[in-house]
Amino acid sequence: MDIKLLKKLRAVTGAGMLECKGALEQFNDDYDKALNHLKSSIKKEDSNQRVASKGMCQIEIKDNEAILFEVNAETDFVTKNKHFLNLVNVIGMHLINSEVTNAKTALKEEINGQSIEELITHTSGIISENAQLRRFYRVKKDDHQGFGSYTHMQGKLVTLVVLDKDEKDLANMLAMQVAAMSAEYLSLEFIDTDTMNYEKFMYEKTHGNFNENAFMTELKSKTLLSQPWMKDQSILVKDFLDQHQIKIIDFFKFELGQGIDNKLNCRLDIPCDGSKITVTPIY
């Protein structure tokens, strides 16, 4: 038996020593046949369908485009698994160079003759966890604009900021502000009626009554431009931007597992499960 082929087969498939040895023996050291055999035998177990709410979010940036995506699995330990980490990196490197704009289309993309969906299924078999590409978003900017990003705790939270000028250091600091201060909205004027009604409903549900002044104070704490600047609490983010004569075009935030329980994503207007949200105006 060719030991080099055995080592290569183990590295590629993640299968055990005996499985790889048996496959090579079965196909007389024909690597391709042994590889296809092992790939077809590694499947998600039917019983392995626990909720996949762990895993990691990731950002990839190239020139004027950025992508944010989330790959879920079942346990926290998966972020230390080399096969899962390789899956996330391979997906990211491929999709940033593609034209894909959503997770459904991303699953059909092929990498070395294998679709991303098949690659995820294969990796699920290796790590014995239910893995999924849950969401994907692409952001494009103009040449004169700038991206800033921040990744917290190995992908438990990722943020992306788009500025009207290419000031990477400032953009990265602002992306960190979004993460540190849990910003949900850019400014009050950009909050639509349905989202405002939802926020009022949740405030009353949490506090047991509705107080307009207290509600607005709480809402401002979620609004990026109205937040104290993390580097100087005496000024607001808006003041900091004015000082540097710069504007935030938009920002994006993916938090691991967000929306799996409450079916809402970070923008509160697009359900993660693809269904429609109907908020009845009550104010």
User: What rounded mean pLDDT belongs to the chain?
Assistant: 87
Q: List pLDDT tens digits, range 157-175.
A: 999 999 999 999 999 999 9
CA–CA separation, 224 and 191 (whole Å):
12
User: How far apart (Å, rounded) are the C-alpha atoms in residues 185 and 188?
Assistant: 7
Could you tell me the CA-to-CA distances from 183 to 27, 65, 251 in Å, in that order? 57, 22, 9
Instruction: Give every CB contact of residue 220 below 8 A, 6+ residues apart in sequence.
Output: 188, 226, 227
- 50-140 CATH: 3.30.479.20
Q: Which two tokens stand for residue 196?
A: 């405002």
pLDDT at 249: 96
pLDDT at 49 over 50: yes
Q: What pTM value is reported for the model?
A: 0.78
Share of the chain above pLDDT 90, in %: 69
Task: Give pLDDT tens digits for 239-251.
Answer: 999 999 999 999 9
Q: What band does 44 get if pLDDT is binned at 50, 70 and 90?
A: very low
Q: Is the pLDDT of residue 273 over 50?
A: no
Give φ, ψ of 233 to 5 degrees: -65, -10
- The answer to whether residue 259 scores a pLDDT higher than 50 is yes
Q: In terms of Cα–Cα distance, which of 96, 90, 88, 86 is closest to 72?
A: 88
Rounded to an integer, what distance in angstroms lies between the CA atom of residue 153 and that of residue 142?
30
Model confidence at 46: pLDDT above 50: no
Alpha carbons 107 and 263: distance in angstroms, whole number? 21
Name which of 13-17, 58-62, 214-218 the model is least confident about.
Answer: 13-17
